Amino acid sequence: MRAIVIEDDLTIQQQVVSRLKKAGFVVDCADNGREGLYLLQEYPCDVAIIDLGLPVMSGLEVINAIRKEGKNTPILILTARGRWQDKVEALDAGADDYLVKPFHHEEMMARIRVLIRRASGWSDSRIICAPLSLDTTTQRTFVDDREIDLTAYEYKVLEYLMVHAGEVISKTVLTEHLYDDEADNDSNVIEVFIRRLRQKLDPNEDLKPIETLRGRGYRLTLTRVEQASVK
Amino acid sequence: MIVLVIFMILMAIALEKAVVKRALQAEEDKLQVMIYSLLAAVDKSPDGLSVTVSNERVFESRLMTRDSGLYAILYDEHHQQIWGSRSSSESAVWKALPKAKNIDVGDWQFSTQPFNNKHHFRLVFAILWPDTNDQLNRYNVVIWQDAGGYLRQLDHFRQTLWGWLSITIVLLLSVMYLVMVWSLRPLKKVGLEIKAIEDRKQTGFEQNYPTEITPLTDNLNILLSREQYQHQRYRDAMDDLAHSLKTPLAVLNGLTDNDSLGRAELVTMREQTARMNQIVSYQLQRVANVVGVKINKPINLITFIDKISAALEKVYKEKGVEFKSTLPGSILIRMDESDCYEVMGNLLDNAFKYCQDKVHINYIDTDDDEIELNIEDNGSGLDSLAIDRILNRGTRLDETNEGQGIGLAVVAGLVKSYNINLRFEPSVLGGLKAVLALQVVSS
């Protein structure tokens, strides 16, 4: 998954980026609103973490601008100003959730995962496309009840395909969401990951979970199953 | 006004005294003239050893008329009557008249004497008159006059004086009162507007005033604006302080993600940063609540509830909360907008956080200008001890739920500053019901 972090306090920015990277995210960051808006407009991302009190252009202005352009990127706002008026204004402007500083990073990650699932229509931390199931919290993968051992990048590819189950995902998009810009990207690496996934998930080749659409990309063929929300 | 009335009364008393004195003097003068005219009628007695008055030469007709009320008597030095006017000699009155005491020759003695249940004036004049042997003999000429006429006139004067004075005083007092009321009316309006400002019903003086009062109200409006501005500045400064304190706290909190730290150190660090954060949040909120006099125009509570509930429905989307509101389109209350956000935001957030899947908001009319606003959820509810604890500063009952932990304590402080009663009860939905007793503004 790819995230954009817009936070002017560099220490907090680095802490958030570090936490996201640890969770397997590719992260772009900016320390002012204008640069952050540019990143949001130019680069695809699965979630944006935006501080409200930004220089040059405020977080609220960034949110207003990106929503006006019709982008539905899930947005989590960070704010030291815990006033309800500020929270409501930001949520009314288009943010999807808020976090008041200081916050626990586990809480931040949990809210980010919820926003990503929500954007894809998933309401639970377990994504199920039977017989495949993936727990986004523990990052464990199962085929029926059998746990499958995946590498970090294999997990990332599978997670992206399952979150966007039924959608055609191009190699480019996959690459952008798995690697940061500085990495030496090779589209063949994606092919290798796809092949390995097929071998691990479907050794007998009777499931065929991932479909290749020549010239277009890949698509998860398994039907998504909505699990009843745990209340 | 009282001073003026007293002054007028004193003037009337002085006038009355002056008139009475002058009237008495006039009576004495009249009696003197009569005595002089009697002296003109004095003649030697037939034996030459005394004197007498020739009735034919007495010009005052009342001295000749019986019971006219005017009597003249001539006494010798032994107080023996040697002549009496016909008005007295033909009546028994003169016999009973008290005799005048001797006075020095040439002196006049004027006095008021009661006689026969009536007041009389008496003038006495002592003279020396030579007899035929040229021996000077002393005589007293006494003239009596019934003071009834004088007294009647005096009474009439007094009635007229005091009657007109009373009417004048009443009229004067009435006019002065009306003038005072009319001239003080603007000040009364000022007083009413000050009360409205104190009651937070308006932010400044809004009525038109005479030019004499306008400098006062204009300056007071400037003072109030300055006060509001200072209040807002202080709140903004507190807010900025909170922001600047929370950022380093967030950095410290982030360090707890450092795997190189031991478990115990991690726990301690988290506890301490959480505590610092609660202290900062609560104390700054408390200070912002008590600063200055908040003067608030009416706001529509429904607008705030709608915005906050829409935001919370977004945040708690996965929970699928059924939010039901049976509130009317408008409920006007007097509260600062920011405070309204805090009160309703914290109460609704608690309801959404702890509910299973239902949050209902409704109201009851308790009085003409008071309602009870109820926010209910179908969560697990709380007992009264737990409610007391969470209303107190910084206590978090449920550590597993995200939150600052001081939200309801902030609400408790805020509603107290507005004299709003807040209580918690079990809800029919199964969870907790927050009840706010709110004063509403009639539209």
Q: What is the DSSP string of A107-133?
A: HHHHHHHHHHHHHTT--SSEEEETTEE
Sheet holding B108-115, edge to edge: B81-84, B70-76, B136-146, B118-130, B108-115
Q: Is residue B273 part of a domain?
A: yes
Q: What is the mean pLDDT of chain A?
A: 86
Contact of B344 with chain A, judged by CB distance below 8 Å, is answered with: yes
**Inter-chain touch A87–B345, beta carbons under 8 Å:** yes
Contact B393, A89 (CB under 8 A): no
Best B235, B269, B280, B314 member to test A by mutation, with max A CBs in 10 Å, is B314
Give chain B positions within 8 Å (CB) of A231: 319, 356-357
Sheet holding B358-367, edge to edge: B322-325, B358-367, B370-377, B432-439, B421-426
**Inter-chain touch A11–B246, beta carbons under 8 Å:** no
Bridge partners, residue B436, by sequence: B373, B422
pLDDT tens digits, residue range B399-409?
444 444 567 87
Interacting residues of B61 by C-beta distance below 8 A, sequence separation 6+: none
Residue A198 to chain B, least CA–CA distance (Å): 32
Give chain B positions within 8 Å (CB) of A96: 314-315
**Inter-chain touch B242–A84, beta carbons under 8 Å:** no
Q: Is residue B280 part of a domain?
A: yes
Q: How confident is the model at residue B276 (pLDDT cuts 50, 70, 90)?
A: confident
CATH number of A126-220: 1.10.10.10
Looking at the fold, whether B303 and B251 belong to one and the same domain comes out as no
The reply to whether ipTM tops 0.85 is: no
Token pair for residue B108? 């006049």
What is residue A11's predicted lDDT score, i.e. its pLDDT?
87
Domain ranges in chain A? Answer: 2-119, 126-220
* Domain interval for residue B98: 2-154
B212: left (phi over 0), alpha (psi -120 to 50) or beta: alpha
Give chain B positions within 8 Å (CB) of A19: 257
Residue A195 to chain B, least CA–CA distance (Å): 35
Give chain A positions within 8 Å (CB) of B317: 118
Options 3.40.640.10, 3.30.470.20, 3.40.50.2300, 3.40.630.10; CATH of A2-119: 3.40.50.2300
- In chain B, whose CA is at the least distance from the CA of A53? B243
Residues in chain B: 443
Coil, strand, or helix at residue B49?
coil
Residue A63 to chain B, least CA–CA distance (Å): 15
pLDDT cut 70: percent of chain B above it: 86
- The closest CB to that of A107, out of B255, B319, B402, belongs to B402
Coil, strand, or helix at residue B117?
coil
pTM: 0.62
What is residue B178's predicted lDDT score, i.e. its pLDDT?
92
- Alpha helices of B45-147 — where are they, by DSSP H? 86-89, 93-96
Decide which of B246, B261, B295 is a domain's last residue.
B295
Looking at the fold, whether B232 and B307 belong to one and the same domain comes out as no
Q: How confident is the model at residue B97 (pLDDT cuts 50, 70, 90)?
A: low
Contact B412, B394 (CB under 8 A): no
Closest by alpha carbon to B319, among A123, A76, A135? A123
Q: Is residue B188 part of a domain?
A: no
**Inter-chain touch A84–B346, beta carbons under 8 Å:** yes
What is residue B283's predicted lDDT score, i.e. its pLDDT?
67
Q: Is residue B263 part of a domain?
A: yes
Cα distance between residue B105 and residue B284, in whole Å: 107
Interacting residues of B80 by C-beta distance below 8 A, sequence separation 6+: none
Decide if pLDDT at B273 tops 80.
Answer: no
Residue B191 to chain A, least CA–CA distance (Å): 35
**Inter-chain touch B254–A101, beta carbons under 8 Å:** no
| Torsion angles phi and psi, residue B395, rounded to 5 | -90, 130
Looking at the fold, whether B19 and B97 belong to one and the same domain comes out as yes
- The closest CB to that of B247, out of A80, A96, A105, belongs to A80
Decide which of B295, B313, B344 is a domain's last residue.
B295
Decide which of B295, B315, B340 is a domain's last residue.
B295
Token pair for residue A134? 């993936």
pLDDT tens digits, residue range B104-140?
888 888 988 887 778 889 999 988 888 777 788 888 8
Contact of B310 with chain A, judged by CB distance below 8 Å, is answered with: yes
Q: Is residue B170 part of a domain?
A: no
Best A51, A84, A109 member to test B by mutation, with max B CBs in 10 Å, is A84
- In chain B, whose CA is at the least distance from the CA of A227? B318
Number of other residues whose CB lies within 10 A of the CB of residue A32: 16
Q: What is the mean pLDDT of chain B?
A: 82
Cα distance between residue B295 and residue B203, in whole Å: 6
Looking at the fold, whether B32 and B118 belong to one and the same domain comes out as yes
pLDDT cut 90: percent of chain B above it: 23
More confident residue, B330 or B207: B330
Best A98, A101, A105, A127 member to test B by mutation, with max B CBs in 10 Å, is A101
| Torsion angles phi and psi, residue A137, rounded to 5 | -80, -50
Cα distance between residue A128 and residue A122, in whole Å: 9
